[in-house]
Structure 1
């Protein structure tokens, strides 16, 4: 699975193709031919690791969003980013002093791309500084933290968005359109498979205190969120089972593999798997009375490949993070809306489900959900 863990590809301008219309996508030539003279969202990235780098690179093709600042605990990274992205010294902060962004009128929003356990406090601090927040998923370690983050942003009158890049992916949106318009008929079943073999056993994603769990808190959230937007309903119950074959690598509280099942009010069921010890798992499959839809790969950086009972989905590949940041700029600056929400309330639903999955694993019981 091509995931955010490894920054292995160079983003090419030839694949940075998107257009200003809310849900439309065009060629690079069409995009470049459309001048933009409106407001620009000025963004500081917090956390300059591999995924922060990927977002920064993708933002170079944005018209409505611009990278203007950095927040990091590593001075050498700050210096490198200053040079590479022409970031002024006054827009550079560390984790101790970034509250002072409140006095910086040149930063509109902060994109928090740090280990899961840090999101809660960092997002609240950004909100108190009066800046809009984009937070990587999962938004928090649990639903309680997520609710506190939402309330803090509302109190500060700033927007809270979450990095659900797949909510803007064209093949995904086409399947959602087909479902919404009744082309697939009654939805019966969804399968979501997310897995890869994780490497370095000392990395933060295998540290319970920083990650909050294991594979479920990293890639499992794709299947959780995908089941919801592919079926178009909220689950009403969940069951789950954990499998651990390597307790040395996957210590207490760090899940290696979790299987989980959902039931939906319309009668559909979902069967999903999240694993840090199985490769070649990146597939969504939806079956319905009139047809089916499949994405494989379904959530990697692309290109996403899809087909339905009507044939292949041939939408042009676009760089996910470029589109995400462009659309989020529209949400923050112009109060636009996303076809599939990317706000804190959307992320809170996933956190409630994650809490329930872990409870189902612990108790062996079916857990009822009220989202």
Structure 2
């Protein structure tokens, strides 16, 4: 998978040459997003790091969603974003006072892109302020936290969505359509390989208190989630094994490499790998009695490349976060139902599997799942 660092190195070029959206009016130029297109989802981003920047830049091409606010603990970043994205002072908050967004009619939803360990409390606070929430994955550190977040949002009558950008990716959706149509026949096997060699040993992703784990929480979740939407069933058991070669970089509780296997009620099995110590791993493979599908790269920032037994998939690439935010605006504002769910309940299912994988690593046995 392309790392976040790889993306950020390309960010300036991407911002200059955002791909055109297949949406009416956009071809008339950058001012067209100010023309009437119906309701617009007004978004505040919480956490102005690498991924928050990626989402913000991608939203420049959105018609249904607009960046209107920021939440950060770094005043210098807030000032920079105010200038870059024309955000008024009244829509800028820090981590101490962002509860005040409840009185701000310029903000409909908060997109949380902070470290994993912060998601739980921040989602609950945003919900209490009466705003919808989009939370990056993994949604929380464990399933218990995730269920508390879902309950808090239901109590506040706000929507909780998770940043599953691949659920809107055209080649991925085409494979799901073909599987549902029976093109591959009975599904027998899925393989998901996700990994890259991580850099700075001092980054938060290698801090158990902030990340909740290691590669599994960051990159392995793509294989976990992908196995479910590619096979089209919920797994009923898991086994897992951990390999660690660098005890300095990957301290106690921070996994370097985990291999895990999933069993599905229809008889299909999945074999997956998550690692922070190998490059060139970003591949999904689905095998059925009548055909196959392959994505490689499968979850990187794009373009995704895919083929099936019927030939190459040729859908054009559009920046994933642009499509995601357009579709999420449709979900929140128009009640649209995505092909693959992106709600909090979907996030909890992945967290239950993550909990089970860590349990299987620890016990060396098979762990039953009930999603």
Partner residue of 2:22 out of 12, 19, 31: 19
Q: Residues 12 and 76 of structure 1: is their aligned pair in 2 closer, same or farther, counting only changes over 3 Å?
A: closer
Query: Counterparts in 2 of 1:1-371, with a 5 A limit?
Result: 1-6=1-6, 7-10=8-11, 11-12=14-15, 14-20=17-23, 29=27, 36-371=36-371
Distance, in Å, in 2 between the alignment partners of 1:136 and 1:152 is 17
User: Is the 1:301–1:320 Cα contact (8 Å) retained in structure 2?
Assistant: yes
Distance, in Å, in 2 between the alignment partners of 1:137 and 1:277 is 21
Q: CA deviation at 1:56?
A: 0.2
Distance, in Å, in 2 between the alignment partners of 1:44 and 1:27 is 25
Q: CA deviation at 1:18?
A: 3.0
Q: CA deviation at 1:358?
A: 0.1
Deviation digits for residues 178-216 of structure 1 (CA, Å, limit 9, x no counterpart): 000111111110000001000000000000000000000
User: Is the 2:55–2:321 Cα contact (8 Å) retained in structure 1?
Assistant: yes
User: Is the 1:194–1:275 Cα contact (8 Å) retained in structure 2?
Assistant: yes
Distance, in Å, in 2 between the alignment partners of 1:170 and 1:9 is 22
Distance, in Å, in 1 between the alignment partners of 2:54 and 2:18 is 14
Deviation digits for residues 252-275 of structure 1 (CA, Å, limit 9, x no counterpart): 000000000000000000000000
Distance, in Å, in 1 between the alignment partners of 2:29 and 2:315 is 15
SS at match of 2:241: strand
Q: Residues 30 and 86 of structure 1: is their aligned pair in 2 closer, same or farther, counting only changes over 3 Å?
A: closer
TM (norm. structure 2) is: 0.96
Figure out how many residues of one structure are paired with residues of the other and give that number. 366
Q: Residues 365 and 36 of structure 1: is their aligned pair in 2 closer, same or farther, counting only changes over 3 Å?
A: farther
User: Is the 2:18–2:58 Cα contact (8 Å) retained in structure 1?
Assistant: no
Q: CA deviation at 1:31?
A: 10
SS at match of 1:194: strand
Q: CA deviation at 1:8?
A: 1.9
Q: CA deviation at 1:4?
A: 3.1
Q: CA deviation at 1:16?
A: 2.4
Q: CA deviation at 1:30?
A: 9.4
TM (norm. structure 1) is: 0.96
Q: Residues 208 and 294 of structure 1: is their aligned pair in 2 closer, same or farther, counting only changes over 3 Å?
A: same
Deviation digits for residues 36-95 of structure 1 (CA, Å, limit 9, x no counterpart): 520000000000001000000000000000000000000000000000000000000000
Q: Which residue of 2 aligns with 1:23?
A: none
User: Is the 1:17–1:317 Cα contact (8 Å) retained in structure 2?
Assistant: no
Distance, in Å, in 1 between the alignment partners of 2:285 and 2:25 is 28
